[in-house]
């Protein structure tokens, strides 16, 4: 087995154990996600059922959002609300948000179905 194959076998094994998507893991490793997939197939190390259970386990848990009625007092008037997801993505909601738009965003993220 050549050095490149050993490196990729180790990398694919670490990816499978990480529970991250190929895109996230590849970005952390500084490699192309497509190349990671290609090597996993070439080495016969496909993620199949393991990947599905790991990805389900790492999905962010969404909590119900309760919107205060108009005119309610907030501790920090004018402050934007920030929702930080486990993958680091941030949803910023300005004080003058549109409730329908926020509801669509929350539904798109998998909450309030």
Do 65 and 113 reside in the same domain of the chain?
A: yes
Do 25 and 74 reside in the same domain of the chain?
A: no
Q: Which residue has the tokens 């009625």?
A: 69
Do 53 and 13 reside in the same domain of the chain?
A: yes
Asked if residues 92 and 80 have their Cβ atoms less than 8 Å apart, the reply is yes
* Boundary (domain end) residue, out of 25, 42, 57: 57
Residue 32 structural domain:
3-57
Structural domains of the chain, count? 2
Q: What is the pLDDT along the chain (113 residues), one digit of tens a residue?
A: 789 899 999 999 998 888 888 888 999 999 998 898 889 888 888 765 445 555 555 556 666 666 766 665 555 556 777 777 666 667 778 888 888 887 787 777 765 44
Phi, psi of 38 (to 5 degrees): -60, -45
Do 73 and 100 reside in the same domain of the chain?
A: yes
Do 68 and 104 reside in the same domain of the chain?
A: yes
pTM of the predicted model, to two decimals?
Answer: 0.42
């Amino acid at each position: 087995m050549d050095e490149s194959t050993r490196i990729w076998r180790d990398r694919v094994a670490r990816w499978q154990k990480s529970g991250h998507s190929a895109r996230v893991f590849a970005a952390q490793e500084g490699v192309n996600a497509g190349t990671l997939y290609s090597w996993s197939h070439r080495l016969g190390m496909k993620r199949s059922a393991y990947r599905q259970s790991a990805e389900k386990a790492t999905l962010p848990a969404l909590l119900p959002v309760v919107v205060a009625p108009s005119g309610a007092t907030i501790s920090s008037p004018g402050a934007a609300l920030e929702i930080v997801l486990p993958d680091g993505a941030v949803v910023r909601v300005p004080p003058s948000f549109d409730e329908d738009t926020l509801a669509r965003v929350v539904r798109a993220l998998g909450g309030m179905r």
